[in-house]
A = this chain, B = another copy of it.
Amino acid sequence: MQSGSFQHPYIPNTPADREEMLKVIGVSSAEELFRDIPQGYSAPSLDIPQALPEMDLLRELQALGDENRHADQGPFFLGAGAYRHYIPAVVQAIVNRGEFLTAYTPYQPEVSQGTLQAAYEFQTMVGQILDMDVANAGMYDGASSFAEGALMACRIKRRYKVAYLDTVSPDYIDVLKTYTLPQGIEIYPVTANSTNLKRETACIVAQSPNFYGYIEPLENLIETAHSLDALAVIATDPFASVLFRPPGSYGADIVTAEGQPLGVPVSFGGPYVGLFTCKKEYVRQLPGRIVGKTVDSNIRTAYVLTLQTREQHIRREKATSNICTSTALIGLMTTVYSAILGKEGIKEVAQLCYQKSHYAASLIQQIPGYSLPLDGVFFQEFVVECPRSPSEINETLASKGIIGGLDISDRIHNGMLICVTEVNTRVEIEALVQALSDIGK
């Protein structure tokens, strides 16, 4: 910063402006405005570096960025809940528009139709992709969406037990615990073939594709749940839902998903958007924001936040959730992405993920010492049992510029969870296979 008095670019008023305003207010200094701060507490020291000029800030963050190895820097095979897909240029161009980016939650529908209609489109596309009756306008992320699904089931059934499959992502189970346990909800594990659920179980919760990437055969479990008047809350992946029969088609009552794969950068884990859908009959128990279609006083079609009596600002401690600020912009990203991909494009991407990951798996399981320990059908992610510790193998891969899969040896012996999507080229896949085979020797 140049010397002299401090005039920050983000703060328009000048000393002269302030002086005039203070006069109108009738105080002689800004300090007087803070006179309610109790003695001894005001104007504390603030150990934060002085203002950094924009040019230097950009350089600093570019240098910090260079300390990271990002997912587009070479062959990369991590997934485990966050998936790389190609994001068409249109998505960023739209999402960066100030009118979307810098608007608040659409409390004034008359001047927020852009955000509102886009949210209605989001609800439409989410409903269509997940093949469910209704969707809300988005949750924080896939994991919290899943947890709120369980809470919603408990609310609907007024029961306080949740049965979960242990093939659900451990990260999701963690969040489920954070959300449910304080409310006195008991959660307990079951297998896909369980026929005995505990009495007073509100719902079964599961994930398909599961943590290991495999389609979970859930028909029986869901049937069992329904026979006990419990609900089925299933987390899925949007692209898997495009290729495979979606959970709703075999009876799921609440279907959630991480929306990130639909055009959202992996961005070190967030912001993402949780997709949340359910059967029509439960609409008034939905958490989060919902946009509905209506008309204005001139009978023009218009959109508005609706069913707000579920929400915290009206129902306070009785609200269906505490969500206020949610993820509208990320919802918009997925909406623009889905529109650009469209009916055919989205299927093509799902197919590419399937084809490429299966190609990779077919080659890897031919390498001596490597095998695919799990049965069933996977979508784009699969587990490899390695001849050695996956973390050691990953070290060697990294030295060759390859980022391998996730070490899940805590769950599967020498297990590595490998993800392949449409952005992985055949050359990259074969480089991984070659490297694994070299390491195996």
Contacts and interface: CB of A to CB of B under 8 A. Distances in A.
A170 to B, nearest CB: 32
Nearest to A344: B2
B2 A348 contact: yes
Interface stretch (A89-97, A121-129, A175-183, A288-296): A89-97
Interface in A32-70: 54-55, 58
B89 A54 contact: yes
A88 interface: yes
B54 A88 contact: yes
In this complex, the interface size class of chain A, counting residues with CB under 8 Å from chain B, is 10 to 19
Nearest to A53: B86
Given A2-B348, A348-B2, A55 B93 contact: no
Contacts of A58: 89
Nearest to A4: B344
A337 to B, nearest CB: 13
A98 B89 contact: no
A55 B88 CA distance: 8
Interface in A82-127: 86, 88-89, 93, 96-98
A96 B93 contact: yes
A367 interface: no
Contacts of A86: 54-55
A373 to B, nearest CB: 33
A96 B90 CA distance: 12
B98 A93 contact: yes
Nearest to A94: B98
A97 B97 CA distance: 7
A319 B422 CA distance: 56
Contacts of A156: none
A423 B55 contact: yes
Interface string A284-316: 000000000000000000000000000000000
A259 to B, nearest CB: 20
Nearest to A89: B54
Interface string A8-29: 0100000000000000000000
Nearest to A340: B9
A89 B53 CA distance: 12
Contacts of A97: 97-98
Interface string A417-439: 00000110000000000000000
Nearest to A2: B348
A276 to B, nearest CB: 30
A2 B348 CA distance: 8
Nearest to A86: B55
A58 B89 CA distance: 10
A86 B55 CA distance: 7
A348 B55 CA distance: 13
Interface in A325-350: 340, 344, 348
A340 B54 CA distance: 12
Nearest to A62: B72
A188 B89 CA distance: 51
Nearest to A92: B96
A261 to B, nearest CB: 15
Contacts of A88: 54
Contacts of A55: 86, 422-423
A93 B89 CA distance: 15
A34 to B, nearest CB: 30
Nearest to A99: B97
Contacts of A348: 2
Contacts of A422: 55
Given A54-B89, A93-B96, 13 more contacts: A2-B344, A2-B348, A9-B340, A54-B86, A54-B88, A55-B86, A55-B422, A55-B423, A58-B89, A93-B98, A96-B96, A97-B97, A97-B98
The 10 closest A-B pairs by CB, nearest first: A55-B86, A2-B348, A54-B88, A54-B89, A55-B423, A97-B97, A93-B96, A93-B98, A54-B86, A96-B96
7 contacts: A2-B348, A9-B340, A54-B86, A55-B423, A93-B98, A96-B96, A97-B97
